Amino acid sequence: MSKKINIQSRRQFIKTISAGTAIAATGIAGFPLIARAASPVKVGIVHPVTGWAQYSGSQCRFGAMMALEEINAAGGIKSLGGAMLEAVLGDAQSKAEVGAAEVEKFNEAGVSAIVGAYASNICLATTQAAAKHGIPHVVDVGVNDKIVGRGLENTFRFGPGFGIITKAGADSFLAINKAAGSPTKRVAIVHENTTGFGAGIAGLMTKALQPDGIDVVEVLPHPTPNKDFRNIALKLKEIDPDVVIPSHYYNEGVLFLRTLQRQKVQPKAIYSVLGGASSQYRFVKEFPEAAQYVIDCNHWFDPKNKDALAVRRKTEAAGKHFNYEVFLAYTAMKFTADAIERAGSADRGKITEAMAGSNWSGHIMPYGPTKMENGQNIGARPLVTQVQGDEIVVVSPSEYADTKAVFPRPA
Amino acid sequence: MNSRGQLLGLCVLMVILAIGPLLISSGRWIEFLELTLFVAVLGQGWNVLAGYGGQYSFGHAVFFGTGAYIQALLQFKFGWNPWVAMWFAMSGTTLIAAGIGYLSFRYGLRGSYFALITLAFAEAFHVLARSLDSITEGGRGVQLSLNQDPSQAIAEFQFNFAGPFLKTYGFYYTIFIILLITYLLTWLMSNSRFGAQLIAVRENEEAAMALGIDAFRVKMKAICLSAIITSSAGVYYVQKFLFIEPGIAYGPAKSVEALFAPIIGGLGTIVGPLLGSFFIHGVGEVAKEVIVYFVGDRPGVDLIFFGMILILVLAFLPRGLYGLLEMLWLRLRGKHNA
């Protein structure tokens, strides 16, 4: 009896051992993979959250963090066994050299990719510093075309640069003007000239409009920051252009449009290109009269995309304004996460390859499937919006338009 | 502490700065040291004119920016080699400084009037850099092409894509050598006849003139030396970041950085700007880490903390950190002798 039991026990014992060994072997072989996969993937997020660009930088950080939290809430990076994304935050203090120093901090922290850094001059420094360490860097806002034109293999921009935006801005303006029976012929450009973007846009707009018979009667530069637009408003009153084309940052945008309102400068249209305030919900809410009928060619989300509207609701529920800084940084982070997913690795080189070959289309922007050429997403484009009532609506191009532009605006 | 004591202290600091980075492989801390030395050079430029000469400038960015712009434009427009361009950048800035100095000192501008005129010059150059589009590229700024060929790293004065050593330490030792030369120059100046005359002018210009010192000539020399030192920081900045624009070059940030370091560290001393720069960056970095550790990432809170410490230093250490160190040193020596 006892022998039988012993035999049975021995058989059971061998069976148990075999099964246990198999499970253990699977465990031993599998555990490191699971452990490795489950370790978080670090992403550096650098923006100017103090200094002159503090508001925009904070908005960018909010957008990037919202995307990161969504990705983690949805189960992290699936190809890495659900690895979470871990943010390593940096403050560029609105200075290029501090931005570059933050990249060194990221490198030491072992980040796999970087998202940032809002202003063009900071982006130029951070992308260069990231290239030194082979860290893929996704530029969220910086529109200077030189950022992606230097042959840096690690640098990608998901949104459009000012070359693309200005061309689209000029084309749309000519189309809207023509559709309205060409009521405007004389244009004045008002642009910031302290940083690269405003001065670049003014030059390109002048070149783009003149061949089509639009007379650029005056180009009025101003510094950033600028505390007084009365001289420019008086000059505009004197030359009385049909259209004013402003191009500047948020604070100057608000002050400029409010000064035009107070000085009763009433051109037939205000058509901004990267107008700073012209397509900002905050501005529309705080100064609805000054914002009324202002047109802006700028970064904008796909208004027919349900996810975009959900992101807007979520942003507003958090007490933030849903502006271009938020959705561009949000998209840049999602693009980064998609590349990590495709790469199936936290390795910087593999993520760079995945970014370069990305055809990601699950985003909220009107760009279509991603296609990178020399680091620039060539499908990226701006939309033309107009403030109508208390809403900002898309008026061009037709495939994204909510309604038609009110052009010229009512007197 | 006498001049020989200062030189000894400076030598010890320089040896630490020369060897220290080789012992730490951390890119973050090397970058921290680089930024610190960069501000220390800017600060020494200001210190020569204001600390030793008593001519307080509020617009030292004009020298930093002009050096940076000349260095960038000679490469961008004419394809000059950066090693050649740097001499022209420093000489060109010296000429500009001579012009500003002549206009200011010739008409007897002193104290707050001199401070305001330098501020005005910096703003005028800011406007010119934005407006003279065909020369300066306007607000777009000047972007130099990036060299990615490691074999050309030294020839192109760009170390981002150099071999492992230069990639890590290239720009650190560039700013260290600039610091070494400029601080040596300052020490030589402070021990020369010219240095003594400059200090005499600072203390009492009329009395100095009564003793036969040509105050105008002395101040002109000081502003030119100050410009050479400050423009060398501009040259370094352009080669490191390969980009310059009017806001970076002539904006108020660089002028403020230049005067903060020596005021905190110790005006009219050789090591003052270096001590001040270490203090500013060190306290800033520590404040940031402490805030993150205790209350999480709260942008700007570290600046409040930093501001409070700054007020305390300015209120209780009128001679800066150098004065504090000197006082401690004297007490230690007194105890030792007793």
> Does residue A235 contact residue A207 with C-beta atoms inside 8 Å?
no
Q: Kindly state whether A151 is in contact with chain B, defined as any CB-CB distance less than 8 angstroms.
A: yes
pLDDT bucket at A5, cuts 50 / 70 / 90? very low
**Is residue A319 assigned to a domain?**
yes
Partners of residue B303 in chain A, C-beta under 8 Å? 50
Question: Choosing among B33, B34, B245, B255, which should be mutated to test the A contact, i.e. which has the most A CBs within 10 A?
Answer: B245
**Is residue A283 assigned to a domain?**
yes
> Does residue A366 contact residue A383 with C-beta atoms inside 8 Å?
yes
**Is residue A14 assigned to a domain?**
no
Partners of residue B127 in chain A, C-beta under 8 Å? 223
Question: Considering only CA atoms, which of A109, A104, A102 is closest in space to residue A86?
Answer: A109
With tokens 């005129």, the residue in question is B117
Q: Which of B31, B127, B243 is closest, CB to CB, to A101?
A: B31
B130 to A193: CB separation less than 8 angstroms, yes or no: yes
pLDDT bucket at A180, cuts 50 / 70 / 90? very high
- Min distance A48 CA to chain B CA atoms (Å): 10
**For residues B240 and A124, what is the distance between their CA atoms, to the nearest angstrom?**
12
Tokens of A119: 């202003």
> Does residue A207 contact residue A233 with C-beta atoms inside 8 Å?
no
B167 to A132: CB separation less than 8 angstroms, yes or no: yes
Question: Any residues with CB less than 8 A from the CB of B77 and at least 6 apart, and which?
Answer: none
The rounded mean pLDDT for chain A is: 88
Question: Considering only CA atoms, which of A80, A130, A154 is closest in space to residue A337?
Answer: A80
Tokens of B217: 């000539």
User: Looking at residue B55, what DSSP letter applies?
Assistant: -
Q: Which of B27, B138, B243 is closest, CB to CB, to A193?
A: B138
Q: Which of B35, B139, B242 is closest, CB to CB, to A194?
A: B139
pLDDT bucket at A73, cuts 50 / 70 / 90? very high
Question: Any residues with CB less than 8 A from the CB of B186 and at least 6 apart, and which?
Answer: B44, B47, B48, B229, B270
pLDDT, position A22:
53
Q: Are residues A374 and A392 in the same domain?
A: no
**For residues A66 and A128, what is the distance between their CA atoms, to the nearest angstrom?**
26
B243 to A49: CB separation less than 8 angstroms, yes or no: no
Q: Kindly state whether B169 is in contact with chain A, defined as any CB-CB distance less than 8 angstroms.
A: no
pLDDT bucket at A3, cuts 50 / 70 / 90? very low
B242 bridge partner residues: none
B131 to A193: CB separation less than 8 angstroms, yes or no: yes
The beta-strand segments (E) located in chain B are: 142-143, 243-244
Tell me the pLDDT tens digit for each residue of A77-94: 999 999 999 999 999 988
Q: Are residues A152 and A237 in the same domain?
A: no
Sign of the alpha-carbon dihedral angle for A289, A295, A301, A303: positive
A150 to B145: CB separation less than 8 angstroms, yes or no: yes
Q: Kindly state whether A107 is in contact with chain B, defined as any CB-CB distance less than 8 angstroms.
A: yes
pLDDT, position B15:
92
Tell me the pLDDT tens digit for each residue of B79-90: 999 999 999 999
Q: Kindly state whether B35 is in contact with chain A, defined as any CB-CB distance less than 8 angstroms.
A: yes
Partners of residue A96 in chain B, C-beta under 8 Å? 241, 243, 248
**For residues A247 and A266, what is the distance between their CA atoms, to the nearest angstrom?**
18
Question: Any residues with CB less than 8 A from the CB of B129 and at least 6 apart, and which?
Answer: B65, B69, B136, B138, B245, B246, B249, B250
- Min distance A193 CA to chain B CA atoms (Å): 5
**Is residue A408 assigned to a domain?**
no
Q: Which of B28, B30, B241 is closest, CB to CB, to A96?
A: B241
Q: Kindly state whether B281 is in contact with chain A, defined as any CB-CB distance less than 8 angstroms.
A: no
Residue A219 φ then ψ, to 5°: -120, 115
Q: Are residues A392 and A258 in the same domain?
A: yes
Q: Kindly state whether A121 is in contact with chain B, defined as any CB-CB distance less than 8 angstroms.
A: yes
Tell me the pLDDT tens digit for each residue of A352-363: 999 999 999 999
**For residues A23 and A356, what is the distance between their CA atoms, to the nearest angstrom?**
41
Query: How many other CB atoms sit within 10 Å of the CB of residue B192?
Result: 11
Tokens of A78: 């699936």
Q: Are residues A317 and A279 in the same domain?
A: no
**Is residue A370 assigned to a domain?**
yes
pLDDT, position A207:
87
- For residue B246, the chain A residue with the least C-alpha distance is A194
pLDDT, position A29:
47
**Is residue A333 assigned to a domain?**
yes
Partners of residue A192 in chain B, C-beta under 8 Å? 139
Rounded mean pLDDT, A347-352: 96
User: Looking at residue A41, what DSSP letter applies?
Assistant: E
For residue A66, what are the CA distances in angstroms to A116, A341, A360, A365, B338? 14, 18, 19, 16, 66
Q: Kindly state whether A192 is in contact with chain B, defined as any CB-CB distance less than 8 angstroms.
A: yes
Q: Are residues A202 and A234 in the same domain?
A: yes
Strongest mean pLDDT among A36-50, A188-202, B205-219: B205-219
Question: Any residues with CB less than 8 A from the CB of A93 and at least 6 apart, and which?
Answer: A48, A50, A51
Q: Which of B139, B146, B237 is closest, CB to CB, to A150?
A: B146
| Residue at A399: amino acid letter | E
pTM value is 0.83
Q: Are residues A375 and A392 in the same domain?
A: no
Q: Kindly state whether B31 is in contact with chain A, defined as any CB-CB distance less than 8 angstroms.
A: yes
Query: How many other CB atoms sit within 10 Å of the CB of residue B55?
Result: 26
B145 to A100: CB separation less than 8 angstroms, yes or no: no
> Does residue B67 contact residue B231 with C-beta atoms inside 8 Å?
yes
Specify the range with the lowest mean pLDDT, choosing from A47-51, A202-206, A353-357, B204-208.
A202-206
Q: Are residues A67 and A137 in the same domain?
A: yes
Q: Are residues A186 and A284 in the same domain?
A: yes
What secondary structure does DSSP assign to B109-121, as a single string? Answer: --HHHHHHHHHHH
Q: Are residues A222 and A337 in the same domain?
A: no
**For residues A84 and A67, what is the distance between their CA atoms, to the nearest angstrom?**
12
Q: Kindly state whether A95 is in contact with chain B, defined as any CB-CB distance less than 8 angstroms.
A: yes
- Min distance A177 CA to chain B CA atoms (Å): 29
- Provide the residue range defining the domain that includes A264: 163-298+384-396
pLDDT, position A206:
87
pLDDT, position B331:
86
pLDDT, position B98:
96
Which residues of chain B, if any, have pLDDT below 50? none
Total number of domains constituting chain A: 2
Residue A377 has pLDDT above 80, yes or no: yes
In this structure, what CATH number is given to the domain that contains residue A193?
A: 3.40.50.2300
Q: Are residues A134 and A232 in the same domain?
A: no
pLDDT, position A1:
38
Q: Are residues A348 and A366 in the same domain?
A: yes
B247 to A194: CB separation less than 8 angstroms, yes or no: yes
Say what the ipTM of the complex is: 0.80
> Does residue B227 contact residue B97 with C-beta atoms inside 8 Å?
yes
- For residue A129, the chain B residue with the least C-alpha distance is B160
More confident residue, A349 or A20: A349
B146 to A49: CB separation less than 8 angstroms, yes or no: no
Q: Are residues A317 and A258 in the same domain?
A: no
pLDDT, position A34:
45
Q: Kindly state whether A146 is in contact with chain B, defined as any CB-CB distance less than 8 angstroms.
A: yes
Domain segments of chain B as ranges: 38-251
More confident residue, A263 or A29: A263
Residue A31 has pLDDT above 50, yes or no: no
Residue A17 has pLDDT above 70, yes or no: no
